[in-house]
């Protein structure tokens, strides 16, 4: 191993070697390493390139605040883009590739871009490429942008678990304060969850020798055990990425590289935020050189992974918290040279830092560790709507007034001393409120110095320098949001965890305003980048919007039913494997010639019952229903309050107080909701009851001239003759010891019987009717062929032959509008200016010239030679029975234009057509009433 890995120390397993490659070179690390710690341990200094100037980038820090070490990582067949090296655990066999660099991070051909940096500053893109046109420049710019590539591979087993959970108390962060809070709360009997994003608990404890007089590791272990004994739940490698309305917390639990994280939707009674604090960079010349690192990050690398960035290091810090970090490094044998940060200092080195020149003296070192002060991690506080207060002493934003169910403790609360943090943890664990204690933490404010020399980086990944902030200020992009958006400061993968404070402090200094007056940008979730799969989960593919299924699906499959989705149901479009159009035409023809069997089980069946049922149904339908007698059925249109046709259906009156509404298959859910809404709003809900029986009944339709013969084969104990069972009537009886309802209702225009039985009886019914159909020379009828038959008859399908402007009188149903005296839904809207105005689109049929081709559905109707749309073709078929194409359309003033020659316009071609009545089959209704 490299000299930078110490023989002992850290939490890695030195017995388990892991091999990996970076940019093609082989290295090794230990179990427990992150990619970043392993690279550091191997002495890899340049781990990537910056976004804009392709400047070499080294590891900046050890955790979520590292903006630099972003990799494409492959393990086996799995390759993931833009992996954060600092937060990803190393696995054996990983292949790492730096992003945004070619051929590799060390020798990137685009590194030369940096020479032009002075021309590429803030606002560059807004100010140029205006002439002649952005389009000429954009393709090349797009190619240069982006971090890593994403491959097109689909990993079928890359599926995220989604879990719902709840707890009394959620503690976010397993450092000393969080551990004590979780333990205290758990020991009080609360159901506690403690989440910690590292693989092990302890947080900053690893940097402390002793806590409460106990060795830090033993102390952490004792807390962990106590929490578990008290039935607290501990989730490691789990990040709280966001807090949403009503204290819903999003948690992500990592499960190794190959799998996406598991996501919890956790509802927490209260939330204790113990998320810690991050060290800030110091802004000085060339502060982006590889080898310049966060001091706290370096100490963390030592404490957790036994890695030193280098032996000989310069430390520049402005705050009291630095002492502890230095102690960790000292004990590890690092050769630390301390210098006070100065306004004129500047890093030097060619491919990485070789030292810092301070006040004119060159100080050499292999790494430079900087600490600009601690910034509490308050993201979750802001997600939950908490306010922030500026603390002059700490030079940081601290949690201020917050949600009543949330407390911040420890470093996240600005309490950086471990004993005080533990005291806060105890108080919060008990559910007590407490004042933030005074602090011994001190620092010398050290913010960017505008006007100083050299290139001083503020956002390492996005290459935003102090000069960019100065330009933004000069151009009056002074709002902190303008600053961010204009310069892209804080918009990199770390979302400003390193850059934001320096950026807004620079703006404050330039403008001579206090920092809190400049304010912060919005802390937007997620706290860390989250694989999109984590929002997806197992409800994919066929489980995404699952289809509804027919009781007779198996029977349809046996008959080679081409099962397709129609209105949310899986239904047979036609029967047969090969040429669909051939089958559809044959089915339609056979149905007209002899008889056909159609599965109508998906049709809605909603019962409306009770003493007020009659008035209610009369109210929700356009047509008058109250005159309907038991045993009769009536076609009806259901309108919205805007007078628009929402659904059509057939209403059967089963008894004085009992109606059955048969609505469109795809509208059943919305009709049921619609009925419920009106039942409860404005009616007495104790006198009307609504029950959706759709799934309880199966319906088979026998249609065609020989339909009666087929139905006779059921041997029903009733007369099914035209006189006893005329069109639009029904009868209830028993069949096979189960109820059966037989209705004379037709959607084909031919003699039809709809036979409904309890869903479990459907196979038995099929077993009789299907052979009988065959015996009578008939066949099966899929939806596609049915659509032809109903179009021949001029029967509409709502949503296909109507649109969101269609009113009933546009379809020829004019009587209720003129005469119905009772109130009904949508009534008043049928008398607005627009409802009465000429120019409404009305349902018509279309004829083509003899031998003419079918008109494409979706063609528009135009006057000959004109190009202004007068409506459109809604249904169009070749009619095998009539021997010519037929079509339905909705056309401006169509009802009074029958016989007029117009054109169907499609794709810049025109077909001559003649407007006609919608019904072209059995216009007198002889077959229907047979």
Using CB under 8 A as the binding rule, the residues of this chain from 632 to 661 that contact other proteins are: 641-644
Site for other proteins in 791-850 (CB under 8 A): 799-800, 803-805, 821-824, 827-829, 832-835
Task: Write the binding mask 81 to 100 for other proteins: x where contact by CB under 8 A, - elsewhere.
Answer: xx------------------
CB 121 within 8 A of CB 469: no
894-913 positions binding other proteins, by CB under 8 A = 905-908
Contacts of 451 (CB under 8 A, 6+ apart): 470
Closer residue to other proteins in complex, CB, 532/723: 532
Strands 292-294 and 367-371: parallel
Stretch of 17-25, 344-352, 422-430, 680-688 lying at the interface with other proteins (CB under 8 A): 680-688
| Among 7, 8, 77, 143, interactor with other proteins by CB under 8 A | 143
Interaction between residue 193 and other proteins (CB under 8 A)? no
At residue 681, what are phi and psi to the nearest 5 degrees?
A: -105, 100
Nearer to other proteins, 130 or 723 (CB): 130
Considering beta carbons, is residue 32 or 561 the nearer one to other proteins? 561
CB 481, min distance to other proteins, A: 5
Measured between alpha carbons, how far is 839 from 608 in angstroms, rounded to an integer?
37
Query: CB 78 → other proteins: shortest distance, Å?
Result: 8
* Nearer residue to other proteins within complex by CB, 43 or 516: 516
577 binds other proteins per the rule CB under 8 A: no
**CA atoms of 172 and 182, how far apart (whole Å):** 9
In angstroms, give the least distance from the CB of 110 to other proteins.
13
Residues 215, 392, 565, 719: which binds other proteins (CB under 8 A)?
A: 565
**Residue 432 corresponds to which tokens in the numbers above?**
């007590």
- Among 8, 77, 115, 153, the residue binding other proteins under the rule CB under 8 A is 153
- C-alpha distances out from residue 687 to 78, 462, 612, 618, 626, Å: 62, 67, 5, 15, 16
The closest of 12, 71, 3, 67 to 40, measured between CA atoms, is 3
Choice from 682, 717, 851, 865 touching other proteins (CB under 8 A): 682
The dihedral over CA atoms of 526, 531, 534, 536, expressed in degrees to the nearest 10, equals 120
- How far apart (Å, rounded) are the C-alpha atoms in residues 283 and 326? 20
Task: Give the DSSP H or E segment for 279.
Answer: strand 277-279
List the interface residues with other proteins, window 843-862 (CB under 8 A). Answer: 856-860, 862
For other proteins, the binding residue among 25, 93, 151, 627 (CB under 8 A) is 151
According to the binding rule CB under 8 A, does residue 77 interact with other proteins? Answer: no
Q: Which stretch binds other proteins (CB under 8 A): 125-133, 215-223, 328-336, 588-596?
A: 125-133
How many CA atoms lie less than 13 Å away from 564 in the CB half-sphere? Answer: 11
Max Cα-Cα span within the chain: 114
Q: Least distance from C-beta 115 to other proteins, angstroms?
A: 11
Q: For other proteins, what does the binding mask look like between residues 517 and 556, x meaning CB under 8 A?
A: -----x-xxx--xxxxx-xxx-xxxx-xx-----------
What's the burial of 360, exposed, middle or buried (CB within 10 Å: 0-12/13-18/19+)?
Answer: exposed
- Residue 687 interacts with other proteins (CB under 8 A)? no
C-alpha closest to that of 347 among 326, 367, 329: 367
Site string for other proteins, 358-387 (x = CB under 8 A): -------------------------x-x--
Query: Is residue 868 close enough to count as binding other proteins by CB under 8 A?
Result: yes
For 744-835, strand residue ranges (E) read 752-758, 779-780
- Residue 737, C-beta contacts closer than 8 angstroms, at least 6 positions apart: none
Q: Does 771 bind other proteins (CB under 8 A)?
A: no
Question: How big is the chain, counted in residues?
Answer: 930
CB of 905 to other proteins, least distance (A): 6
Q: Is 599 in the site for other proteins (CB under 8 A)?
A: no
Q: CB-wise, 417 or 475, nearer to other proteins? A: 475
Which of 343, 800 has the CB closer to other proteins? 800
Residue 244 lies near other proteins (rule: CB under 8 A): yes
Residue (305 or 477) nearer to other proteins, CB = 477
For position 618 contacting other proteins by CB under 8 A, the verdict is: no
Name the one range near other proteins by CB under 8 A: 260-268, 316-324, 745-753, 893-901: 260-268
Tokens of 873: 């073709």
By CB under 8 A, the residues from 475 to 494 that bind other proteins are 475-477, 479, 481-482, 485-486, 488, 493
- 80 touches other proteins by CB under 8 A: yes
What's the min distance (Å) between Cβ of 20 and other proteins? 19
Q: What is the H or E stretch that residue 487 is in?
A: helix 480-487
Q: Total binding residues for other proteins by CB under 8 A?
A: 128
Task: Identify which of 13, 65, 57, 15 has the alpha carbon closest to the alpha carbon of residue 39.
Answer: 57
Nearer of residues 328 and 825 to other proteins, judged by Cβ = 825
Can you give 171-232 as a three-state secondary structure string? EECCCHHHHHHHHHHHHCCCCEEEEECCCCCCHHHHHCCEECCEEHHHHHHHHHHHHHHCCC
Enumerate the H helices of 290-438 as residue ranges.
Answer: 295-305, 322-331, 379-383, 418-429
x/- map, 442-471, other proteins, by CB under 8 A: -------------------------x--xx
Using CA atoms of 260, 265, 269, 271 in order, give the dihedral in degrees to the nearest 10.
40
Does the protein bind other proteins through residue 514 (CB under 8 A)?
no
Q: Least Å distance between CB 114 and other proteins?
A: 13
């Amino acid at each position: 191993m490299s000299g930078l890995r110490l023989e002992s120390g850290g939490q890695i397993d030195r017995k388990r070697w892991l091999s990996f490659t970076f940019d093609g070179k082989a290295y090794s690390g230990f179990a427990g390493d992150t990619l970043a710690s392993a690279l550091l341990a191997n002495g890899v200094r340049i781990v990537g390139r910056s976004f804009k100037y392709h400047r070499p980038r080294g590891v900046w820090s050890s955790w979520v605040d590292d903006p630099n070490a972003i990799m494409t990582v492959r393990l086996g067949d799995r390759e993931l883009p833009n992996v954060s090296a600092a937060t990803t655990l190393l696995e054996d066999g990983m292949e790492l590739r730096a992003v945004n660099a070619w051929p590799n991070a060390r020798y990137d051909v685009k590194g030369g871009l940096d020479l032009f940096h002075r021309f590429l500053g803030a606002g560059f893109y807004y100010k140029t490429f205006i002439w002649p046109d952005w389009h000429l420049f954009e393709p090349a710019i797009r190619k240069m942008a982006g971090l890593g590539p994403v491959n097109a591979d689909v990993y079928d087993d890359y599926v995220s678990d989604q879990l719902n959970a709840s707890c009394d108390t959620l503690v976010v962060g397993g450092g000393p304060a969080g551990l004590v809070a979780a333990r205290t709360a758990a020991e009080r009997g609360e159901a506690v969850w403690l989440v910690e994003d590292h693989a092990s608990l302890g947080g900053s404890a690893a940097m402390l020798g002793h806590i409460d007089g106990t060795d830090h590791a033993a102390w952490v272990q004792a807390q962990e055990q106590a929490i578990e004994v008290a039935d607290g739940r501990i989730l490691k490698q789990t990040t709280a990425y966001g807090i949403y309305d009503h204290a819903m917390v999003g948690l992500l639990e990592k499960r190794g590289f190959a799998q996406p994280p598991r996501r919890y939707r956790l509802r927490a009674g209260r939330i204790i935020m113990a998320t810690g604090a991050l060290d800030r960079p110091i802004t000085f010349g060339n502060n982006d050189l590889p080898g310049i690192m966060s001091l706290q990050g370096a100490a963390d690398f030592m404490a957790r992974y036994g890695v030193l960035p280098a032996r000989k290091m310069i430390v520049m810090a402005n705050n009291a918290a630095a002492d502890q970090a230095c102690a960790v490094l000292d004990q590890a044998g690092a050769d630390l040279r301390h210098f006070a940060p100065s306004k004129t200092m500047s890093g030097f080195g060619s491919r990485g830092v070789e030292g810092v020149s301070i006040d004119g003296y060159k100080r050499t070192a292999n790494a430079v560790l900087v600490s600009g002060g601690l910034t509490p991690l308050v993201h979750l506080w802001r997600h939950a709507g908490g306010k922030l207060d500026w603390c002059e002493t700490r030079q940081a934003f601290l949690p201020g007034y917050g949600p009543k169910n949330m407390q911040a403790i420890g470093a996240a609360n600005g309490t950086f001393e471990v004993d005080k943090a533990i005291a806060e943890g105890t108080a919060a664990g008990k559910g007590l409120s407490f004042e933030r204690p005074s602090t011994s933490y001190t620092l010398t404010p050290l913010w960017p110095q505008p006007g100083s020399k050299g290139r001083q980086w503020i956002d390492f990944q996005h290459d935003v320098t102090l000069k960019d902030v100065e330009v933004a200020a000069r151009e009056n992009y002074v709002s902190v949001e303008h600053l961010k958006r204009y310069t892209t400061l804080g918009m990199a993968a770390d979302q400003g965890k390193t850059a934001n404070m320096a950026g807004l402090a620079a703006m404050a200094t330039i403008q001579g305003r206090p920092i809190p007056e400049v304010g912060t940008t919005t802390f937007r979730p997620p706290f860390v980048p989250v694989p999109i799969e984590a929002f997806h989960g197992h409800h994919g593919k066929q489980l995404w919007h699952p289809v509804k299924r027919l009781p007779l699906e198996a029977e349809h499959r046996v008959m080679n039913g081409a099962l397709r989705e129609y209105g949310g149901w899986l239904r047979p479009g036609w029967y047969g494997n090969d040429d669909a159009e051939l089958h559809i035409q044959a089915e339609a023809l056979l149905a007209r010639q002899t008889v056909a069997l159609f599965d109508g089980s998906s049709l809605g069946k909603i019962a409306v019952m009770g003493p007020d049922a009659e008035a209610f149904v009369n109210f929700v339908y356009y047509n008058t229903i109250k005159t309907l007698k038991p045993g009769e059925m009536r076609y009806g249109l259901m309108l919205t309050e805007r007078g628009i046709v929402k659904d059509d259906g057939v209403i059967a009156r089963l008894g004085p107080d009992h109606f059955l509404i048969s609505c469109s298959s795809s509208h059943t859910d919305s009709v049921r909701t619609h009925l419920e809404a009106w039942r409860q709003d404005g009616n007495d809900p104790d006198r009307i009851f609504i029950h959706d029986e759709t799934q309880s009944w199966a319906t088979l339709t026998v249609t065609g001239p020989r339909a009666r013969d087929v139905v006779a084969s059921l041997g029903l104990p009733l007369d099914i003759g035209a006189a006893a069972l005329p069109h639009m009537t029904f009868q209830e009886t028993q069949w096979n010891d189960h109820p059966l309802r037989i209705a004379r209702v037709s959607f084909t225009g031919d003699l039809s019987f709809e036979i409904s039985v309890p869903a479990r009886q459907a196979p038995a019914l099929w077993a009789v009717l299907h052979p009988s159909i065959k015996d009578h020379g008939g066949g099966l009828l899929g939806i596609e062929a049915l659509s032809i038959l109903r179009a021949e008859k001029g029967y509409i399908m709502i949503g296909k032959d109507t649109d969101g402007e269609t009113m009933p009188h546009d379809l020829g149903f004019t009587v209720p509008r003129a005469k119905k005296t009772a109130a009904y839904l949508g009534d008043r809207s049928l008398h607005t200016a627009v409802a009465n105005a000429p120019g409404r689109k009305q349902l018509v049929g279309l004829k083509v010239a003899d031998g003419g081709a079918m008109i494409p559905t979706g063609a528009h109707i135009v006057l000959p030679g004109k190009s202004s749309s007068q409506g459109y073709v809604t249904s169009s078929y070749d009619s095998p029975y009539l021997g010519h194409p037929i079509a339905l359309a909705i056309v401006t003033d169509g009802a009074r234009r029958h016989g007029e020659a117009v054109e169907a316009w499609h794709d810049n071609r025109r077909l001559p057509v003649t407007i006609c009545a919608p019904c072209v089959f059995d216009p007198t209704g002889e077959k229907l009433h047979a």
